[in-house]
Structure 1
């Protein structure tokens, strides 16, 4: 093992560029240098990756497997360099060669493996599991195109393929030797074998090959490298003859092409279900294969393996493990069920009833017939086991198969030993409202694990100017233990530190303003308030409420151009699901309001709107450090947690929020005076649901300000919208404003006035910003995964030998 220096790093880069591209280092393009550096970085951590796996085997460590249909890792070059302790060395070495590390990082494509919070949380967990020295792995799908690449054409969202794999993925290793077959469709029936056992027989089934691509998850300077395993579909050689045309092959080869196929049609629903079973079956098969290497009895499976179901998409883990145990290994149903429940755990990510996944019985019978048979038996036995213990109506409400629907959340709860929510309020609502029936039956299974974020990425990588100020003020221990951010509270009256924090913020605002100018042509001032709402476009997240306030502000300025408000730039980032026409109508309307306001000289640039297309991790890393205001304005009781709220808080933004999701815990952390709370509480929302006394038309009729804003969607005020404005108007008036925007509007406007007033008092604003940064440490995903490890997975850290020797600046043998 050789110490890595500038000299041998340059030499290694030079040699690899020659071997790979037949050019000299000085003549290599940014793309060639990126892939060369990436392969070198991977070579550096490969020894640790191999040793980590060998240690797990040697120690027979219990391992957790995090099944998620989404992962959203973001770019990995700088993250891996940071975690290896090589970021500064590599940056300085490249600088000697007149190469900017950031230029190489720009070459890297975001892995298009997720959409929003669900996928980003999974990736934060992968980072934190490795950084905490925990034996944990990810399991998902290697999408060819991911969700989609968003562009705006005439203000409309247009979905294009996100061809992130066109030039390959330097971080992954294809492992065909670990491939498994996954069986779909056909006719499945039970037949007695020579031992008198009933065993399934399948005829006319479809067999697909699941090939794993592994990516190393590098722990923060501790020598641990875990694995994120993503599955890609191929046609097995034995099945080649079944496909008579390229088109027939493509039907199956495209199964891992896109995330969330449009489920508004039958083909899309079928593809979605096949995707879910594909990565579940492949993952569970590979886990069982690993377990069998240990030569342990099946009763020990839960002592060595924990499988976590991240939302309901991987719920088929439960019947799939049952299938492997009873069909392939002759385990009795009773023992297999006991093992399965002990192995499985489930995170619920939604309060919205419509988001709790359900599948039609006919579709499951058609696509995954053996899964349906097993689910049917689980359901039958569940009902039988509960009779005489609980009332019949409670049993019927909680069973898995109800009418012609299979309820995947019910399967996830019944088939696992733990169900957790992701914020205290969310978990409380699961127990008291959404999953109350299950809480009555299984009170001990319910728990809370408030989400967290990988603060290394969202501070050390995304905001180096802020990180440098923290180092100078409180030392560097916060980089490993985010709870040490609390030390910053000692400086809330230190003018020098407050000024440095403000300068760091201004630097990031200047960078974002330059990016906005380059990408959109819109000129914004870094001296304005940067007011940010970045999240999936959904009605309950209430981007529309934000827009309504902007319109109100615009009308105020039109009435009084000299109105004393601090200039503000409203920044949006959001994708709408392709079939979600209402969300796409809101996007179109925001863009048209932006055109109207940004081109109106009479308001003297006091407000501007920027909707940045194709929101992803890399764009978030630009926006979040520059944000002054964090919009967390979902209707109370609808957002499970939120994590953009935590990222923005960490970077010193002041939160405007309802008491929803983790906003409640942020309020508790910073105090009422350092957050801007408005709107209905969760209790008030549910009171409206119970008494049916909400009438949006009455508010509209009685409030001239609201009436003017709402009418603007249909009276021609906003150019170039037609049905979009009518759809919005109807949602608010004709369909009684499902998410209570009109009820919260006045209070929201008052909250925004408080933001304006407070920002004008820069001494006060800077203190509030500092308090938010100082208290963000409690929302670290390092802490969250440790709680999962202790309370749910029962896994323990293992410390690599390289931790004792030190991992910074070591050059492992290639």
Structure 2
């Protein structure tokens, strides 16, 4: 038996033997969990019918025994209070807090992106920014005006009226970081990719809610449409040459067939780890954080990408919500249903009211056609169909969000055509990432939860 379901001789300390568990109509108690009248979902110990052993609900036990409960992003903390532990929140509202995650700028900018680090130091006038990340916010001061000249190999940015009051002229180092990735991919995968392509990257562990499938179906849609167009039509439709990099810890798949020279290159990077991330993230220009809204607790790779001047495409989920607030709505590509809509959308689906977008149906049939080899994709495509049943009914709303996703990708293409605008967006992402330092997170835990003061080193 697992710890979560093991019978305990000390159960009587947690619950009275006279307490009836199986009544869902008992009034809510404002006293202690497992007291008389406690709602079923509040119980620390439960007796599933008909007569199995009592089960210890570990999450409930932790809420009762702990002195603080926190989510790791604002939206996550609200879900914890409103849905997951609502009865406990009403009982002990002061116990619940938010502590948004963070990452260290010393690794994720200063170490892995030394060229960008130098630019930030020049702009802010000192190296204080990697200890006091609020300095990054100085990059977005309203009195700064950016004159950006796009050249073949690099971008020159002239900053007027910032930092030390003098104009600073710096080279944005994205191209050199992309060159490092080009070499790495050739050595690691055998693929040759162009450093002139937009680097569109998704790095996530494999899970349905993170929706790698949405990304892949979006790539298939893009590939199909570009195959159907002439070169002139592609240019007229503002399709950018993209290197789509899908990096995960574990995945076995082939993308050989989805290559279109000078239009699209799809590369799977195997054995993703921190060292690989330190190469990919500084080179990224667009990063995908596209989970079903309400299902990502926070995410931290989104913070790393933003720190490195990468623009995010994503849903209002996890830390995306706060990143978008900090970098500015115009500097974040938003799509998809929101967390408060998800339950209703699933109910509509169960009632047979969902009507799939024709473009989504087109992509599914294209995948089924055999163009990507002899593998039978019926089970995978079938998981996106139907209205109910295990492994059916598109629980993670890939079909619902697909039209919004591809329309948002069209906005990405349009923005990338204007490199002056894109570079300003990139700078605003770095500037807005100041909040997402782990220094801030650790300080909040120490102050608000543990009530401890920093130790001043001699």
TM-score (norm: length of structure 2): 0.84
1:556-580 CA-to-partner distances (Å, cap 9, x unmatched) read: 011114212110011112235xxxx
Alignment check: 8 A CA contact 1:498 1:770 kept: no
Aligned to 2:5: 360
Q: Structure 1: which 5+ residue stretches go unaligned? A: 1-269, 274-357, 366-371, 577-586, 802-814
CA offset digits 1:14-55 (Å, max 9, x no partner): xxxxxxxxxxxxxxxxxxxxxxxxxxxxxxxxxxxxxxxxxx
Structure with max Cα Rg = 1
* C-alpha distance in 2 between matches for 1:560 and 1:642: 37
Q: How does 1:32-431 map to 2 (within 5 A)?
A: 359-361=4-6, 365=7, 372-374=8-10, 376-380=11-15, 389=31, 394-403=38-47, 404=53, 405-431=55-81
Please give the root-mean-square deviation of Cα atoms over the aligned residues, in Å. Answer: 2.4
> Is the 2:348–2:354 Cα contact (8 Å) retained in structure 1?
no
Distance 1:546 1:707, change over 3 A: same
Contact 1:413–1:419 at 8 Å: present in 2 too?
yes
1:375-524 aligned at under 5 Å gives the runs 376-380=11-15, 389=31, 394-403=38-47, 404=53, 405-475=55-125, 476-490=127-141, 491-495=144-148, 496-497=156-157, 503-524=172-193
Q: Are residue 595 (structure 1) and residue 262 (structure 2) matched? A: no
Contact 1:696 1:737 in 2 (8 A): no
Matched residue SS, 2:373: coil
Distance in 2 (CA, whole Å) between partners of 1:451 and 1:728 is 34
Q: Tell me by how many angstroms 1:628 deviates.
A: 0.2
The CA distance in 2 between the partners of 1:486 and 1:446, in whole Å, is: 29
Alignment pair present for 1:571 and 2:223: no
The equivalent residue for 2:163 is: none
Q: Distance in 1 between matches of 2:94 and 2:405?
A: 39
1:542 to 206, 211, 218: 211
Which structure dedicates a bigger proportion of its chain to helix? 1
1:549-564 residue pairs with structure 2 within 5 A? 549-562=218-231, 563-564=234-235
Bigger shift: residues 397-406 or 547-556: 397-406
| Other-structure match for 2:370 | 716
CA contact (8 A) 1:382 1:399 kept: no
- 1:771 is aligned, of 410, 428, 447, to 428
Deviation at 1:693, TM superposition (A): 5.6
Whether contact under 8 Å (2:157, 2:172) holds in the other structure is: no
Q: Summarize the Cα distance change of 1:461–1:396 in structure 2 as closer, same or farther, 3 Å threshold.
A: same
| 1:412-433 CA-partner distances (Å, limit 9, x unpaired) | 1111010000111110111111
Q: Distance in 1 between matches of 2:9 and 2:327?
A: 51
Sort the Cα spacing of 1:755 and 1:388 in 2 relative to 1 into closer, same or farther, 3 A: closer
5 Å matches for 1:747-786? Answer: 747-786=404-443
How far residue 489 of structure 1 moved from its aligned partner, in angstroms, is 1.8
How many residue pairs get aligned? The number is 413
Q: Deviations over 1:87-108 (max 9, x none)?
A: xxxxxxxxxxxxxxxxxxxxxx
Render the CA deviation track for 1:194-233: whole Å, top value 9, x for unaligned. Answer: xxxxxxxxxxxxxxxxxxxxxxxxxxxxxxxxxxxxxxxx
Mapped partners of 1:460, 1:382: distance in 2? 59
Q: How does 1:557-636 map to 2 (within 5 A)?
A: 557-562=226-231, 563-564=234-235, 565-576=239-250, 587-588=251-252, 591-592=253-254, 594-598=255-259, 603-636=260-293
How many angstroms apart in 1 are the aligned matches of 2:430 and 2:415?
Answer: 17
Q: What does 1:699-714 align with in structure 2 at a 5 Å threshold?
A: 699=356, 703-714=357-368
Give the conservation status (yes or no) of the 8 Å contact 2:307–2:429: yes
1:674 alignment counterpart:
331
Q: Does 1:732 align with 2:384?
A: yes
Mean CA deviation greater in 553-562 or 414-423: 553-562
SS for the counterpart of 2:39 is helix
- Compute the displacement of 1:440 (Å): 1.9
Indicate if the aligned counterparts of 1:570 and 1:609 stay in contact, CA closer than 8 A. yes
Unaligned segments of structure 2, at least 5 residues: 20-27, 48-52, 149-155, 160-168, 387-391
Cα deviation, residue 373, structure 1: 3.8
* 609 and 414 in structure 1: CA distance in 2 versus 1, 3 angstrom threshold: same
1:502–1:766 Cα contact (<8 Å) kept: no
For residues 718 and 382 of structure 1, do their structure 2 counterparts lie closer, same or farther at Cα, with a shift above 3 Å needed?
A: farther
Does 1:653 find its partner at 2:316? no
Deviation string 1:122-169 (CA, Å, 9 cap, x unpaired) is xxxxxxxxxxxxxxxxxxxxxxxxxxxxxxxxxxxxxxxxxxxxxxxx
Q: Decide whether the 8 Å contact of 1:509 with 1:626 is kept in 2.
A: yes
CA contact (8 A) 2:89 2:96 kept: yes
SS of equivalent to 2:176:
helix
1:694 to partner: Cα distance: 6.6
Structure 1 residues 440, 674: CA separation in 2 closer, same or farther (over 3 Å shift)? same
Deviates more, 1:712-721 or 1:765-774: 712-721
Q: Structure 1 length as normaliser, TM-score?
A: 0.48
- Give 1:441 deviation, angstroms: 2.0
CA distance in 2, matches of 1:504, 1:677: 26
Deviation at 1:434, TM superposition (A): 1.7
Residue 453 (structure 2) aligned to one of 788, 796, 800: 796
Cα distance, 1:788 vs structure 2: 0.5
Contact 2:29 2:37 in 1 (8 A): no
Over 3 Å counting, the alpha-carbon distance change for 1:768 and 1:546 in structure 2 is same
Contact 1:713 1:728 in 2 (8 A): no
Q: Does 1:698 align with 2:350?
A: no
- Counting only pairs closer than 5 Å after superposition, residues 9-48 of structure 1 correspond to structure 2 as none
SS of 2:272 mapped into structure 1:
coil
Return closer, same or farther for 1:393/1:711 CA change in 2, 3 Å cut-off: farther
**Deviation of the 1:377 alpha carbon:** 4.6
